[in-house]
């Protein structure tokens, strides 16, 4: 079985997330999503709309996702790959080069992002619409 891993916050789920998860799953037989915990988001200076538990439940309902586990630190990636017998690590191309250190443990793939959509864009568009009203 070929196992694939990817990471993210997956807040305000959109078609870009689905495209990334679908393409990641196409690279193997089993997709493990490591989801940023609320505590880790706080350390990163991010605030998700949905709690970790809600985001986890949403991800688990997506047919491409086989398992969801929490991310607590930047440093846990090597142990996640080793502990879960991962063959392929996948991230969006905006992270290109940042995780090349994992090439000692598995294949590293940077997938293109879906053009014109992101959680940041959605939040900005909503704020702009609210100001118009």
Would you write out the chain's pLDDT as a tens digit for each of its 133 residues?
Answer: 999 999 999 998 889 999 999 999 999 999 999 999 999 999 999 889 999 999 999 999 999 999 999 999 999 999 999 999 999 999 999 999 999 999 999 999 999 987 766 667 766 766 776 777 6
Long-range contacts of 122-125 (CB under 8 A, 24+ apart): 122/12, 122/14, 123/12
Say whether 27 sits in a helix, a strand or coil: coil
pLDDT value for 10: 95
Q: Which of 2, 3, 25, 46 is catalytic?
A: 46
Residue 129 is predicted with a pLDDT of 66
Q: Which two tokens stand for residue 95?
A: 């992270």
Residue 63 token pair: 């047919």
25 is an active site residue: no
**Nearest Cα to Cα of residue 92 among 14, 30, 29:** 14
Catalytic residue among 2, 3, 25, 44: 44
- Element containing residue 36 per DSSP (H, E): strand 30-36
Output the pLDDT for position 113: 86
Is 129 considered catalytic here? no
CB 89 within 8 A of CB 107: yes
Beta carbons of 8 and 36 less than 8 angstroms apart: yes
Q: How many residues comprise the chain?
A: 133
């Amino acid at each position: 079985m070929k196992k694939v891993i990817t990471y993210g916050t997956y807040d305000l789920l959109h078609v870009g997330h689905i495209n990334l998860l679908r393409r990641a799953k196409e690279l193997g037989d089993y997709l493990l999503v490591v989801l940023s915990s609320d505590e880790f988001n706080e350390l990163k200076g991010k605030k998700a709309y949905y709690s970790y538990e809600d985001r986890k439940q949403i991800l688990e309902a997506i047919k491409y996702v086989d398992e969801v586990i929490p991310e607590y630190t930047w440093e846990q990636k090597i142990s996640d790959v080793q502990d879960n017998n991962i063959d392929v690590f996948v991230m969006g191309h905006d992270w290109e080069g940042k995780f090349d250190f994992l090439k000692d443990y598995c294949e590293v793939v940077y997938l293109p992002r879906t053009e014109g959509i992101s959680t940041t864009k959605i939040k900005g568009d909503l704020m702009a619409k609210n100001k118009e009203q």
